[in-house]
Structure 1
Amino acid sequence: MSHFAFTRRWRAGSILAVALLSLTGGEFSYAAKKPERAPVARKANPEELLNDIYKELSRNDLDAAQRKADALVEAYPSFRLGHLVRGDILLMHTRPVAMLGAAVPPGSDSKLADLRREAAVRLQAGRPAETLLPRALLQMRKDQRHALIVDARHSRLYLYENRNDGLRLVQDFYVSQGKLGINKLKEGDMRTPVGVYYLIGRLPGVKLPDMYGKGALPLDYPNDWDKVNGRSGSGIWLHGTPPETFSRPPLSTDGCVVVSNDDLNFLTRSVEIGKTPILIGDQVEFVSKEQIDKDLRQAAGLVENWRRDVENRDDTSLKALYSPKFKSAADETIDAWLDKNRYLPGAKKISVTVSDPSYFRQPSQEEVIVTNFTQQIVIGKFRHAVRKKQYWAKEGTAWRIVAETNV
């Protein structure tokens, strides 16, 4: 199911309000006294406050919209979009307003365009219906408590909790990404990478330049799939914003994923370094439990075929599961890699088991499944266990391993 099949979260009335305020050229005009300031609600979500303002405008209640706009900018004084909306509401007391940013003086066209883009992205944000699940998260390990999904097409980050009864959407956040969009290829191309990554560190803001805000969570870009495809670069982080900036335009970073400092603090308390995956793509789908189960059976079936061929020592069938593009982390060929991972080759009977698996689908046009599992080999009294990561890519009609590492 596509993003546009979502149920809308802050929609009723807000579509009309923003259309009237900015997109369709409609006008609001009221004559009213300047209302008193509302009490500051510092714990309120700024997007919810912004949505409430649009709802009041759609109800033609300028006084209520003014009070909530005052509360918004007092609670979040560096939220430039909030100030822009409040300025327009003040102007509505004296004359019609035909477009978002009507109160902005001439000469600020570039900044105004950025704020309009941010407003449009925030307004179009949606949450999936409770019955739908992210197709990218097929199965997580029990010790993986959370996962992040970045929907690059809609500048949105979703935080999921892995519970005994299944996945639960905890919160979603507005994000900024690379100036030139996604599909990073090389250092300095101003693009955000697409793929399945892990958060591998936590950097406090006091040790970083102001541009990173309250801190940063580095990603393990480039991953093995990136390296197979010749993608390079480094320093891709999830980080905050400068002290004087609440949020940045949707396309404004050098390739990092950027959230507000408040949101970064929330995420930092939730994630676990080395365990929490972050999946980035422009094909984020939310589907039924039945579709998840179908995809999971397929992914688990690929690993089972691999396990069976390893156990049966069927070298021909095993090698056929690997892509001609395969290269190990040490740049080894398929034959060299398989030889390196063949234990006691003279033994006739071995047992191979797979446990603690995770399965992720890359949320992009590239059909890639990333799996992690523990492989245990038993040959008589010899026992060996290793944690493996495999990248399976669809080549034509067949799925093949393009990268594999022992972790």
Structure 2
Amino acid sequence: MVCLCTQLRFIARRIGYKASSAALGVVVAASVMATPAWANGSKPGVPARLDPEIMLIDVYKALAANRLRDAQAKADALVAAYPTFRLGHLVRGDLLLLHTRPIKTFGAAPNAPADKLNNLRDEAIVRLKSLRERPDPEMIPRAILQMRDDQKNVLLVDAKRSRLYVYQRVNGQFKLTSDYYISQGRLGVNKFKEGDQKTPLGVYYITARLPGARLPEFYGPGALPINYPNEWDKANGRSGSGIWLHGTPSDSYSRPPLSSDGCVVLTNPDLKELSASVEIGNTPVIISEDLKFVSKAKWDADRQAANKMLESWRADLETTDPELLRRHYSRNFKAMRGQNLNNWLDKVQQSNLGARKIGVSLRDVTLFRYPDQKDQKELIVAAFTQEATIGKGRHVTRKRQYWAKEGAQWKIVSEVNL
């Protein structure tokens, strides 16, 4: 058992288990035995196919149960189905070595480049760790507060777990329908400038669907660009471009967790499935360093509080009283094109055409918590269609606002007409 479970003991230590001797040989088994229902079939929302992640789990289950021949057969099937899945080949190679001698490390292939072995070890660790830390179906991602009726799905990237989760809005609630292993920037997250090899953190939208036939083979079957840098990025001096969700070259099934220049990289089968579920300009993509979850009761309370915050602003906008409106804006307000708060509020007042009272309604409201970042206040991004009635005139504008928590109050720190 000691030799058979070398891989399991190595991974167990790396994913946070602390045990000794033979106990470490079975802790990963505990993880994989506790996998979700889809671990014995296809993932939710995904057409049935031989899923390499499920096949890899089966190899580890057999290995943890000391069924070496069964594990070998499953590993053979894995690399036969996915010949470019390098992690599968690593696991299979270790199993073959076990027939001849004990192994002392995960990835015992002689003369293999150390950096490539480390990359594969990291991939194995994050894949299994993501199974240990599955989202609780009774909890809701804290980042989601409210979506429009015409928005079906939201994509949430969790950099810490190298995972992309797809949540679907069902009867006003949010349900996890699928999730995928992903690779991110070589230097992690929190992108600030062009070429820093980091993946941005923020709330974005899919802006296009680029077919693979129009792209270099490096990107696989296609790409889904996002709108980085968004308004908040630009207001804070962040630069760069070309942040995509894309696939892999044909000679690589997957890439190491930290391997892109800033893009979010999926396997080619996963990208195809994901691409079929997104709507251009309509599907939000929230990239977080560490995705947080809350209870349904907490989510509902937070959603109501955010709507109350927005309603208070709307009501004061109707009065056309500049001082009532000003109280909703931060002294650190940043508008596009270098406008300060006074410039922006003057522009708002001018649009009222001198009316003492106007009618304002908001519809198609979306509310998302902005991912936590170092040295940044708690942030909510609101987008909505504003309809203002001034006399016999009617003015419709799509807006996006960024609200920061300053002390106990929420204040608008940036606003843009879309």
Q: Same fold (TM over 0.5)?
A: yes
Q: Deviations over 1:141-194 (max 9, x none)?
A: 010111100001111100111222521111111111111111111001111110
- Corresponding residue for residue 31 of structure 2: none
Q: State the shift of 1:300 in Å.
A: 1.0
SS at match of 2:414: strand
Amino acid at match of 1:304: E
Matches within 5 A, 1:207-218: 207-218=214-225
Q: Does 1:306 align with 2:317?
A: no
Q: Does 1:159 align with 2:166?
A: yes
234-243 or 313-322: which moved more?
A: 313-322
Q: Deviations over 1:315-336 (max 9, x none)?
A: 1121222223323223222222
Matches within 5 A, 1:192-271: 192-271=199-278
SS at match of 1:172: strand
CA distance in 1, matches of 2:74, 2:275: 29
Q: State the shift of 1:286 in Å.
A: 1.5
Amino acid at match of 1:297: Q
CA distance in 2, matches of 1:75, 1:348: 71
Q: Does 1:381 align with 2:392?
A: yes
CA distance in 1, matches of 2:194, 2:179: 29
Of residues 136, 142, 151 in structure 2, which corresponds to 1:129? Answer: 136
Q: Does 1:348 align with 2:337?
A: no
CA distance in 1, matches of 2:210, 2:352: 44
Q: Deviations over 1:244-285 (max 9, x none)?
A: 011111111111111111111011000001000000111311
- Corresponding residue for residue 10 of structure 1: none
CA distance in 2, matches of 1:380, 1:177: 52
Amino acid at match of 2:190: N
Matches within 5 A, 1:252-291: 252-291=259-298
- Corresponding residue for residue 13 of structure 1: none
Q: Do the aligned partners of 1:228 and 1:325 also contact (CA within 8 Å) in 2?
A: no
SS at match of 2:204: strand
CA distance in 1, matches of 2:336, 2:51: 44
- Corresponding residue for residue 45 of structure 2: none
- Corresponding residue for residue 85 of structure 2: 79
Q: Deviations over 1:323-363 (max 9, x none)?
A: 23323223222222223233343222321111121110112
CA distance in 1, matches of 2:280, 2:7: 40
- Corresponding residue for residue 32 of structure 1: none
Q: Does 1:91 align with 2:97?
A: yes
Q: 1:373 to 1:22 in 2, by over 3 A?
A: closer
Q: State the shift of 1:21 in Å.
A: 5.7
Q: Deviations over 1:348-380 (max 9, x none)?
A: 232111112111011224411011111111223
Amino acid at match of 1:355: R
- Corresponding residue for residue 17 of structure 2: none
CA distance in 2, matches of 1:138, 1:240: 30
CA distance in 2, matches of 1:287, 1:156: 18
- Corresponding residue for residue 30 of structure 2: none
Stretches of structure 1 that go unaligned for 5 or more consecutive residues are: 1-15, 29-41
CA distance in 2, matches of 1:349, 1:20: 70
SS at match of 1:280: strand
CA distance in 2, matches of 1:231, 1:17: 45
Q: Do the aligned partners of 2:320 and 2:355 also contact (CA within 8 Å) in 1?
A: no
Q: Deviations over 1:89-127 (max 9, x none)?
A: 11112222222111x122411100100011101010032
CA distance in 1, matches of 2:62, 2:137: 27
CA distance in 2, matches of 1:96, 1:138: 53
CA distance in 2, matches of 1:280, 1:323: 25
Amino acid at match of 2:55: L
Q: Does 1:363 align with 2:371?
A: yes
- Corresponding residue for residue 105 of structure 1: 110
CA distance in 2, matches of 1:332, 1:237: 30
Q: 1:48 to 1:17 in 2, by over 3 A?
A: farther
Amino acid at match of 2:8: A
SS at match of 2:50: coil
Q: Deviations over 1:287-338 (max 9, x none)?
A: 1111111211221122112101101112112122222332322322222222
Sequence identity, in percent?
A: 53
Q: Does 1:188 align with 2:195?
A: yes
The structure richer in helix per residue is 2
Q: Does 1:390 align with 2:388?
A: no
Amino acid at match of 1:294: A
TM-score (ref. length: structure 2): 0.86
Q: Do the aligned partners of 1:183 and 1:194 also contact (CA within 8 Å) in 2?
A: yes
Q: Does 1:399 align with 2:404?
A: no
- Corresponding residue for residue 19 of structure 1: 8
Moved over 4 A (4+): 21-28
Q: Do the aligned partners of 2:6 and 2:104 also contact (CA within 8 Å) in 1?
A: no
Q: State the shift of 1:23 in Å.
A: 5.5
Q: Number of aligned residue pairs: give it.
A: 378
TM-score (ref. length: structure 1): 0.89
SS at match of 1:284: coil
Of residues 52, 62, 65 in structure 2, which corresponds to 1:56? Answer: 62
Amino acid at match of 2:111: P
- Corresponding residue for residue 44 of structure 1: 50
CA distance in 2, matches of 1:148, 1:61: 38
- Corresponding residue for residue 39 of structure 2: none
330-339 or 308-317: which moved more?
A: 330-339
CA distance in 2, matches of 1:229, 1:394: 17
Q: Do the aligned partners of 2:11 and 2:125 also contact (CA within 8 Å) in 1?
A: no
- Corresponding residue for residue 338 of structure 2: 331
Amino acid at match of 1:340: K
